[in-house]
């Protein structure tokens, strides 16, 4: 009556079907497919042939349950609209793909409550490791992560207490280096444009490092503009316009990222403000768009792809918790 085979759910091909087709035990098929344990060459060929003919696709859900281990790596980033994070993902992919791991990606929109939620639901898949952004998390996120027994790498920032592995650089120091760069060139009336600190702790730390160096030289940021949660050319352009309207006496502006900075640079081009003689501009991140602008942007190149790659590699390798500090570098352009 029933034209289906005697399978339960759908007509899915299982290990058992392959086993029956080849006439070997399920364990043998499993060993061949995972290339683990011993089996003869002939067996291997027969199994592969049957797998191909039947169109068998191993069910990793069952595999993971039986072996209590998945090949999933959870990656949590605040946004996809800042190229830094896609770069981080690319770096991680370079380390993970060759060893057969897959990435489950979640975006938090710079909200640590949201981060807690997504980490909790990722944890339900028992990932092999977590790559998260920054060191700022809710207490519950920390404890979930610690209790889970899953290895964690916190990326990008080394200024603070990590949970396990930390790979990045000092955001404070990056800000400090930028301040020194401007001071060395004689700028003294310096503005700052960046995202609202409430949602980007790394930008805040850079600003703190920046301000501290200025303070040591006896000066403080002359003007500050904080931008809502976007990182766009438009926002940078508008912010610089507002800032100059308030105070046209500035000699330099430090932007918290290159998107903003390029927007600022565009504003100067459009208004005929001479850069850097009338106003110097400095960015952060070393984006392509700034480096190849008509007037190359002075910025600070961050090793974000390497951070992703090294973070992923080290977290998979195991080893003791540690902090890995990677170098960044000032790119001298023509805007300072």
Q: Verify binding: residue 86, a copy of itself, rule CB under 8 A.
A: yes
Q: Which residues bind DNA (CB under 7 A)?
A: 8-9, 12, 14-16, 23-28, 30-31, 33-34, 36-40, 42-43, 56, 58-59, 62-63, 65-68
**Helices marked H in the chain:** 15-22, 26-34, 41-54, 60-67, 84-96, 112-123, 139-148, 171-184, 201-216, 233-246, 258-271, 288-291, 304-317
Angle at 183 between CA 182 and CA 186, to 5 degrees: 95
Least Cβ distance, residue 9 to a copy of itself (angstroms): 5
Cα(324)–Cα(206) distance, integer angstroms? 18
Cα separation, 191 vs 233, in Å, equals 17
Answer yes or no whether residue 293 interacts with a copy of itself by CB under 8 A.
yes
CB of 234 to a copy of itself, least distance (A): 4
Q: How far apart are CA 14 and CA 28, in angstroms?
A: 14
By CB under 8 A, which span of 140-148, 179-187, 215-223, 320-328 interacts with a copy of itself?
140-148
Give the span between the Cα atoms of 164 and 308, in whole angstroms. Answer: 16
- Residue 232's binding partner out of a copy of itself, DNA, none, with CB under 5 to 8 Å set by partner kind: a copy of itself
**Interface with a copy of itself includes 93 (CB under 8 A)?**
yes
Q: Which of 41, 147, 277, 320 binds a copy of itself (CB under 8 A)?
A: 147
How far apart are the C-alpha atoms of 308 and 93, rounded to whole Å? 8
Nearer to a copy of itself, 197 or 266 (CB): 266
List residues bridging with 280 in a β-sheet: 252
Q: How far is the CB of 48 from DNA (least distance, A)?
A: 13
CB-wise, 20 or 273, nearer to DNA?
Answer: 20
CA–centroid distance for 100 within its chain: 20
- CB-CB contact of 290 with 296 (8 Å): yes
Residue 188 site contact among a copy of itself, DNA, none (CB < 5 to 8 Å, cut-off depends on kind): none
Residues that bind a copy of itself (CB under 8 A): 9-10, 12, 55, 57-65, 68, 70, 72, 80-81, 83, 86-87, 89-90, 93, 100, 102-107, 118, 120-126, 143-144, 147-149, 232-234, 237, 259, 262-263, 266, 269-270, 288-289, 291-294
């Amino acid at each position: 009556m029933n034209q289906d085979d005697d399978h339960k759910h759908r007509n899915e091909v299982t290990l058992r079907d392959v086993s029956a087709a080849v006439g070997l035990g399920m364990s043998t098929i499993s060993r061949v497919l995972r290339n683990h344990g011993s089996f003869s060459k002939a067996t291997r060929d027969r199994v592969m042939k049957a797998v191909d003919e039947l169109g068998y696709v191993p069910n990793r859900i069952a595999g993971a349950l039986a072996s209590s281990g998945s090949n999933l790596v959870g990656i949590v980033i605040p946004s996809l609209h800042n190229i830094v994070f896609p770069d981080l993902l690319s770096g991680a992919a370079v380390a993970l793909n060759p060893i057969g791991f897959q990435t489950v990606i979640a975006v938090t929109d710079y909200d640590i409550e949201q981060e807690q939620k997504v980490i909790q639901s990722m944890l339900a898949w028992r990932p092999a490791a977590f790559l998260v952004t920054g060191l700022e998390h809710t207490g519950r996120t920390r404890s979930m992560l610690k209790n889970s027994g899953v290895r964690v790498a916190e990326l990008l920032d080394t200024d603070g207490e990590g949970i396990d592995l930390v790979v990045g650089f000092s955001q404070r120091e990056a800000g400090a280096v930028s301040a020194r760069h401007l001071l060395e060139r004689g700028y003294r009336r310096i503005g700052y444009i960046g995202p609202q600190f409430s949602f980007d702790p790394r930008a805040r730390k850079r600003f703190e490092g920046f301000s501290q160096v200025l303070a040591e030289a006896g000066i403080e940021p002359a003007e500050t503009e904080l931008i809502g949660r976007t990182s766009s050319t438009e926002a940078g352009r508008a912010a610089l316009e507002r800032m100059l309207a308030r105070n046209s006496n500035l000699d330099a502006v430090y932007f918290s990222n290159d998107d903003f900075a390029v927007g600022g640079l565009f504003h100067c081009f459009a208004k005929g403000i001479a850069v850097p003689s009338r106003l110097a501009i400095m960015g952060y991140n070393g984006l392509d768009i700034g480096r190849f602008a008509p007037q190359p942007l002075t910025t600070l190149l961050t090793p974000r792809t390497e951070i992703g790659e090294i973070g992923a590699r080290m977290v998979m390798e195991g080893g003791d918790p540690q902090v890995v500090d990677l170098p960044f570098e000032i790119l001298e352009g023509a805007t300072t």
